[in-house]
């Protein structure tokens, strides 16, 4: 990946996993400085291994985010934390549970970015906010009217009404090796659990391809006015069932099993997951390709799932947690000793026993006479086993006689 002409300082929200981590890596490769938010030590370790600086702001408080932006001297903000509402549709129930948090985080980050005066703001949003139609949805098409999607649409409206300039990226369903919903579906496939079925076509995008979208928008020479919506998805559309089959094939497993409709399912109110699995969610990325020259690396979901499976295999082969648990304390002590010129202890040699003294101390074993052969009146052949039994019997009688004498 070629380096960017103008190096910028970029602040990434949700940079410890999924799209945020992929974006941090992509921007670092292009020579930008990256500061990213993390919420766990494992996420911070992943960012440090990539070369980014992890910070721990409260994304729900504008003052906390503003402090992080000022520390980073951020030129651009990539708001990737909405990723927890944009994974696979099989995790739609989790999307609904975090809608209010998404709106609160977006409001705080947008306020902090406006007060700091960032030059460009790029936010992740979702292609499933379009109303389903006969053709692939394009920018400006009608949005869906459903209370389940209200927090996501409210977050977009908040950004459009702000003083920020940048892009709102409506992406297809996001998947990849660092995507939690992809890993959860893979675990369900490996456990042979029945999966929720979905046959409607939808658009998808690998996390690395979405990171490349953010990099292209960040480095675009044209200055955006206000917040502009732009779509991002791979070339081919497929159903959620095809997504599960692609995971199974990438893992070398048989085709997954899908749950059928229950007898009384029509009485149950549909959840957001049910709606996403049943809806046709296909979007067009023509504007992104024509104006910014973006091309996906993984044009099909089969290619992307193969890449995700490779990431999982690498994680299984090299477990960073085991390494740090076993060697972190020893490495820290060695570094400290080296810094203070602490000499290594001399090796302690084991005490050697003189051969002559050992020979004198050890008594010589008393030779044991062999048992005489049993008496024989004729040419009976010698039986060694019987001689041993006779010897044991004789010794037993001697021991018995000694005990009787002592008693």
Look at residue 344 in the predicted model and tell me its pLDDT.
Answer: 47
Question: How would residue 378 be classed by pLDDT, with cut points 50, 70 and 90?
Answer: low
Q: Assign residue 344 a region: left if phi > 0, alpha if psi is -120 to 50, beta otherwise?
A: beta
Task: Show the tokens assigned to 102.
Answer: 């998404």
- Give Dmax over CA atoms of the chain in angstroms: 125
- Selection from 139, 99, 181, 149 nearest residue 275 by Cα: 149
Q: Rounded to an integer, what distance in angstroms lies between the CA atom of residue 293 and that of residue 108?
A: 32
Cα-Cα-Cα-Cα dihedral of 150, 156, 159, 165, to 10°? 180
Residues whose CB is less than 8 angstroms from the CB of residue 278 and which lie 6 or more positions away in sequence, other chains included: 198, 200, 270
Q: What is the pLDDT of residues 199-232, one digit of tens each?
A: 999 999 999 999 999 999 999 999 999 999 999 9
Task: Show the tokens assigned to 402.
Answer: 């000694």
Numbers of helices and strands, H then E, in the chain: 15, 9
Segment holding 231, helix H or strand E: strand 227-232
Q: What is the pLDDT of residues 234-261, one digit of tens each?
A: 989 999 999 999 999 999 999 999 987 7
How distant is the alpha carbon of residue 162 from its chain centre? 34
Look at residue 392 in the predicted model and tell me its pLDDT.
Answer: 80
- Residue 63, phi then psi, degrees to nearest 5: -65, -40
N-to-C CA span, the chain: 98
Say if CB 79 and CB 109 are below 8 A apart: yes
Look at residue 404 in the predicted model and tell me its pLDDT.
Answer: 78
Instruction: Return the CATH superfamily for domain 9-325.
Output: NAD(P)-binding Rossmann-like Domain (3.40.50.720)
How far is CA 395 from each of CA 321, 368, 375, 389, 402, rounded to the nearest angstrom?
65, 13, 18, 10, 11
Q: Rounded to an integer, what distance in angstroms lies between the CA atom of residue 281 and that of residue 53?
A: 36
How far is CA 197 from each of CA 117, 128, 239, 240, 315, rounded to the nearest angstrom?
46, 17, 9, 7, 29
Q: What is the pLDDT of residues 92-131, one digit of tens each?
A: 777 777 889 999 999 999 999 999 999 999 999 999 999 9
The mean predicted confidence, pLDDT, of the chain is 86
Task: Show the tokens assigned to 392.
Answer: 């044991």
Where is pLDDT greater, at 363 or 157?
A: 157
Q: What sections of 98-175 are H helices per DSSP? A: 99-116, 150-160
In this structure, is the dihedral angle defined by the CA atoms of residues 64, 70, 73 and 79, taken in order, positive or negative?
Answer: positive
Look at residue 2 in the predicted model and tell me its pLDDT.
Answer: 59
Look at residue 348 in the predicted model and tell me its pLDDT.
Answer: 45
Helix, strand, coil distribution of the chain in percent, nearest 5? 50, 15, 40
Question: How would residue 321 be classed by pLDDT, with cut points 50, 70 and 90?
Answer: low
């Amino acid at each position: 990946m070629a380096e960017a002409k103008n190096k910028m300082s970029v602040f990434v929200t949700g940079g410890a996993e999924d799209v945020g981590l992929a974006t941090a890596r992509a921007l670092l490769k292009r020579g930008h400085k990256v500061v990213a938010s993390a919420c766990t030590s494992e996420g911070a370790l992943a960012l440090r291994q990539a070369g980014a600086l992890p910070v721990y702001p409260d994304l729900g408080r504008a003052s906390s985010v503003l402090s992080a932006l000022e520390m980073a001297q951020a030129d651009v903000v990539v708001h990737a934390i909405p990723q927890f509402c944009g994974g696979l549709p099989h995790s739609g129930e989790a999307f609904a549970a975090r809608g209010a948090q998404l709106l609160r985080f977006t409001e705080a980050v947008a306020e902090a970015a406006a007060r700091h005066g960032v030059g460009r703001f790029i936010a992740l949003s979702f292609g499933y906010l379009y109303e389903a139609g006969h053709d692939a949805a394009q920018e400006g098409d009608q949005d869906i009217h459903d209370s389940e999607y209200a927090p996501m649409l409210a977050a977009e409206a908040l950004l459009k009404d702000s003083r920020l300039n940048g892009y709102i990226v409506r992406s297809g369903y996001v998947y990849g090796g660092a995507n939690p919903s992809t890993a959860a579906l893979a675990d369900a496939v490996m456990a042979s659990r029945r999966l929720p079925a979905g046959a409607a076509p939808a658009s998808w995008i690998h996390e690395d391809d979405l990171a490349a979208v953010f990099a292209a928008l960040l480095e675009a020479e044209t200055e955006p006015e206000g917040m502009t919506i732009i779509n991002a998805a791979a070339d081919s559309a497929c159903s959620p069932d095809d997504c599960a089959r692609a995971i199974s094939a990438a893992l070398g497993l048989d085709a997954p099993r899908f749950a059928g409709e229950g007898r009384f399912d029509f009485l149950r109110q549909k959840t957001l997951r049910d709606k996403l699995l049943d809806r046709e969610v296909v979007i067009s990325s023509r504007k992104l390709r024509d104006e910014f020259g973006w091309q996906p690396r993984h044009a099909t979901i089969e290619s992307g799932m193969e890449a995700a499976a490779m990431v999982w295999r690498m994680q299984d082969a090299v477990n960073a947690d085991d390494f740090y648990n076993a060697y972190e304390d020893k490495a820290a002590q060695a570094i400290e000793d080296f810094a203070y010129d602490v000499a290594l202890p001399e090796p302690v040699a084991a005490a050697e026993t003189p051969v002559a003294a050992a020979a004198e101390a050890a008594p010589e074993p008393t030779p044991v006479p062999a048992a005489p052969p049993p008496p024989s009146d004729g040419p009976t052949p010698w039986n060694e086993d019987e001689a041993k039994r006779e010897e044991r019997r004789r010794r037993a009688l001697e021991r018995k006689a000694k005990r009787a004498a002592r008693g």
